[in-house]
Structures are given as C-alpha cells and as structure tokens.
C-alpha cells in the first residue's frame, strides 16, 4: 500500500518498569491482524487497512525505545513465529 499512518494501539503509559509482558500477533487467512497485549485482544487490523503491506515479504524485528536515559537494554525471554500451512 502506498500510504501509511502511525498509530498507537496499546496504552504504553500503563506499563511498569521491570515487568514482563506478553505481546502476540495473529494473522488469519484473510490477512487481518489480531493484536494481543498480556493475552488480551487490544485491536484487530483488517487486511484492507493502509498500514498492512499487501505485496511484501514480512520478517520479525524487535525494536525497543526506553524512556530513561540510563536504561539501555531489554530482556526478551522467547520468540515464536509460526506459519499454518495449507494442505
């Protein structure tokens, strides 16, 4: 898609320091994306949304911006990426 707009779909103000959280993204066969934070559905982006690519390969990227100047790392416990294969 040619035009993209930045949006915040999870309220980051409620996040506490030194706390583990779970983030999940489920993409269904139609291309809709369900976004979960701590096992609670936060938002569903439809495949028609201009922020979802429709002609590019996707890959996992983890990026973190910390709020404090003395914090320069994040711990990632595990990452799972899976694809349901069509039979």
Per-residue pLDDT of the chain (87 residues; tens, 9 = 90+): 456 566 666 676 777 767 788 888 888 888 888 888 888 898 888 888 777 777 777 788 877 776 666 767 777 888 888 777 666
Structure tokens at 75: 């711990």
Question: What is the C-alpha separation between 45 and 32, in angstroms, rounded?
Answer: 6
Distances in Å between the alpha carbon of 65 and those of 20, 62, 68? 16, 10, 9
């Amino acid at each position: 898609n040619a035009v993209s707009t930045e949006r915040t779909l999870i309220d980051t103000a409620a996040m506490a320091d030194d706390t583990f959280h779970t983030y999940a993204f489920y993409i269904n066969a139609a291309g809709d994306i369900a976004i979960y934070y701590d096992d609670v559905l936060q938002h569903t982006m439809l495949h028609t949304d201009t922020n979802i690519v429709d002609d590019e390969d996707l890959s996992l990227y983890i990026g973190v911006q910390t709020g404090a100047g003395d914090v320069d790392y994040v711990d990632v416990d595990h990452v799972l990426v899976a694809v349901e294969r069509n039979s």
